Structure 1
Amino acid sequence: MNADAHAADAAPLPAAAGVVGGGTMGSGIVHVLLAAGIDTVLVEVDDASLARGLELVRESLDDSARRGKLEVGVDDALARLTASTRYEDLAACEVVIEAVPENPELKKQVLGSIERQIPDTALLATNTSSLSLGSLAGSLAHPDRFVGMHFFNPVPAQPLLEIVRTPHADEEALRRAHALGGALKKEPIEVNDSPGFATSRLGVLVGLEAVRMVEEGVASPEDIDKAMVLGYRYPIGPCRLGDLVGHDVRLGIAEYLHEALGERFEPPALLKQMVAEGKLGKKSGQGFFPW
């Protein structure tokens, strides 16, 4: 069933939702849940990570409020947020979204810990941008209620939501994922479980070719980006986008896709060098561009 068919068959919104992982993506997902009026539990691994996650959520809400993009007050939104280092505090959540780093073993461990605490009727989702859901679902007791909900950075501003179905996912789980995406003001697309899905396969391939062009001296990062923005109407060029995503993240996805799909995803030597030198992009202050 496609995204439009699911959208026409809306499901009730969850009264409470959970997010595990408060980094860039997790904090953005918390933001949009709170903005939609949904009570939200944020779980992180320790107090320091939790404090950083809360700081990111507040910064994101404050930024939206300054730009007139937040329909509720920042304090009103934050009043709906519960912060915790305990999976047990997810027990009342009707949907939980895992948003920890792209490490398969870590994600499996976290998903298992979530599943042991939430009701059998709760929707369980992962925000992975590339990993096979089939492999992540292998140890779950209820793979029928497990879906991919791949948000895009920055989550409050990006309208796309990639919903990933596995052969085990039932239609009710997918319907609920689509309904939640609509409530969060996202435009869902639906794809079948495959390495990289639709967006990472296409986006990473363009990004890797841009790195190769810089490596081979074809053009500067500035001119490559200008070509794609002016010539193909990209909102941002692939080199600057790599800086925003993080070149370590892009390298990890490329290595996974290289192993899963073959030589066309082989990471360029320049990308590996940039990561080794700590030139990760915006988060390190330097990538293809200074930040």
Structure 2
Amino acid sequence: MNIQNVMVIGAGQMGAGIALVCARSGYHVYLFDTSNEAKQRGYDYIERILEKDVSKDKMSETDKNEALNRITLAHTIEEVANCDLAIEAVVENMEVKTSVFQELDKHAPSHAILASNTSSLPITEIAAETKRPEQVIGMHFMNPVPIMKLVEIIRGLETSDETYQLISEMSESLGKSTVEVRDFPGFAANRILMPMINEAVYTVFEGVASPQDVDQVMKLGMNHPMGPLQLADFIGLDTCLYIMEVLHEGFGDSKYRPCPLLRQYVKAGRLGKKVGRGFYTYD
């Protein structure tokens, strides 16, 4: 099978980023979101990034226009009937994701691969909601998608070798490097990253050090480009909490227990950069 047409479901920062790298790499993209406002914001984000690329001489004006012309704002999810691959990038909630996959399975061509950008939820469970579990796979892009080079590819229990190979090759055509990961809670990236962030929150919670000093330790002492608490603000504290809950429930191990301070911040609405306040305050 030759992947040419891709539907991205969810036009938030992740979905729009995925649509951008696909269109920039020559794929025709159908960008769908149940919210027309979100869909337009996603398209505007793509346009801004491409214009920035032109201003930095990373691409020509012609290439920018051709990439934009390869993006169609889909009116309904049924337009996946035109696609060889669907990449779901909606909210990190199993009920929402399985509902999306049921719709995709109903309307996508029989040859189409259905991929999830989930950062922690089990691919096997998502695939079980479809009649094509061998064609369901995880494609975990890193944020921000246009910059970060990694895609975690997660095989569900039934994912076929052919599906894996096609998605691996397609990811590399986007200029990404791939790693193959088994279907365990948090996969590899978040199983390593989120407990580190959670431990950084505990360090603040227990009065060991301030958020600024915790981040300085990791930036200057461990050569991390960004401290864990600043990174948590960028990811979204609600997302960090949700992934820690998935890890805690999935493994049943107390070492994954979310820090009470993280839970408190989320309940207070201090979700990070997207709302202007988390561990830090943003304009």
TM-score by length of 1: 0.92
The 1:147–1:177 alpha-carbon spacing in structure 2 relative to 1, beyond 3 Å, is same
Partner of 1:33: 22
Cα distance in 2 between the residues matched to 1:74 and 1:283: 28
Cα distance in 2 between the residues matched to 1:277 and 1:69: 42
Question: Where in structure 2 are the equivalents of 1:145-164 lying within 5 Å?
Answer: 145-164=135-154
Q: Check conservation: 1:148, 1:164, Cα contact below 8 A.
A: yes
Partner of 1:174: 164
Q: Check conservation: 1:46, 1:85, Cα contact below 8 A.
A: no
> 1:44, CA displacement in angstroms?
0.7
Partner of 2:7: 18
Partner of 1:282: 273
Cα distance in 2 between the residues matched to 1:41 and 1:140: 21
> 1:70, CA displacement in angstroms?
4.1
Counterpart among 234, 257, 267 of residue 266 in structure 1: 257
Cα distance in 2 between the residues matched to 1:167 and 1:136: 11
Cα distance in 1 between the residues matched to 2:231 and 2:271: 12
> 1:117, CA displacement in angstroms?
1.4
Aligned-partner residue type, residue 13 of structure 2: T
Q: Check conservation: 1:143, 1:169, Cα contact below 8 A.
A: yes
> 1:146, CA displacement in angstroms?
0.6
Cα distance in 2 between the residues matched to 1:200 and 1:270: 19
Counterpart among 207, 213, 221 of residue 217 in structure 1: 207
> 1:35, CA displacement in angstroms?
0.9
Partner of 1:8: none
The 1:45–1:271 alpha-carbon spacing in structure 2 relative to 1, beyond 3 Å, is same
Unpaired runs of 5+ residues, structure 1, are 1-10
The 1:56–1:173 alpha-carbon spacing in structure 2 relative to 1, beyond 3 Å, is same
> 1:61, CA displacement in angstroms?
2.6
Q: Check conservation: 2:122, 2:156, Cα contact below 8 A.
A: no
> 1:49, CA displacement in angstroms?
2.5
Q: Check conservation: 2:89, 2:116, Cα contact below 8 A.
A: yes
Q: Check conservation: 1:16, 1:39, Cα contact below 8 A.
A: yes
Cα distance in 2 between the residues matched to 1:70 and 1:127: 27
Counterpart among 239, 243, 252 of residue 253 in structure 1: 243
SS in 1 for 2:30: strand
Cα distance in 1 between the residues matched to 2:52 and 2:256: 36
After TM superposition, what 4+ stretches of structure 1 lie above 3 angstroms from structure 2? 63-73
Cα distance in 2 between the residues matched to 1:113 and 1:69: 38
Cα distance in 1 between the residues matched to 2:247 and 2:64: 39
SS in 2 for 1:230: helix
TM-score by length of 2: 0.94
Q: Deviations over 1:181-213 (max 9, x none)?
A: 101111100011011000111110000000000
Aligned-partner residue type, residue 49 of structure 1: A
Partner of 1:137: 127
Partner of 1:3: none
Partner of 1:80: 70
Q: Deviations over 1:228-262 (max 9, x none)?
A: 12222222110110010000111111112111112
Aligned-partner residue type, residue 65 of structure 1: V
> 1:103, CA displacement in angstroms?
0.6
Question: Where in structure 2 are the equivalents of 1:49-68 lying within 5 Å?
Answer: 49-68=38-57
Q: CA RMSD in A?
A: 1.5
Cα distance in 1 between the residues matched to 2:58 and 2:238: 31
Partner of 1:4: none
Partner of 2:227: 237
Cα distance in 1 between the residues matched to 2:52 and 2:197: 28
Cα distance in 2 between the residues matched to 1:98 and 1:59: 23
Cα distance in 2 between the residues matched to 1:142 and 1:65: 41
Q: Deviations over 1:129-151 (max 9, x none)?
A: 00011111112100001110000
Q: Check conservation: 1:28, 1:60, Cα contact below 8 A.
A: no
State the number of aligned residues.
Answer: 280
Aligned-partner residue type, residue 141 of structure 2: F
